[in-house]
Amino acid sequence: MLKNSLIRQPTEEDPDEGIKDLVEITLKKMDYDHDGRLSFTDFEKSVREENLLLEAFGTCLPDTTSIESFEHHVFQEQLEQ
> Is residue 3 helix, strand or coil?
helix
Model pTM greater than 0.75? no
Per-residue model confidence as pLDDT tens for the chain (81 residues): 455 555 565 565 677 887 888 889 989 999 999 999 999 999 999 999 998 888 877 777 788 999 999 999 888 877 776
Q: Are 2 and 23 in contact (CB under 8 A)?
A: yes
Instruction: Give the angle 19-20-23 at the CA atoms, nearest 5°.
Output: 85
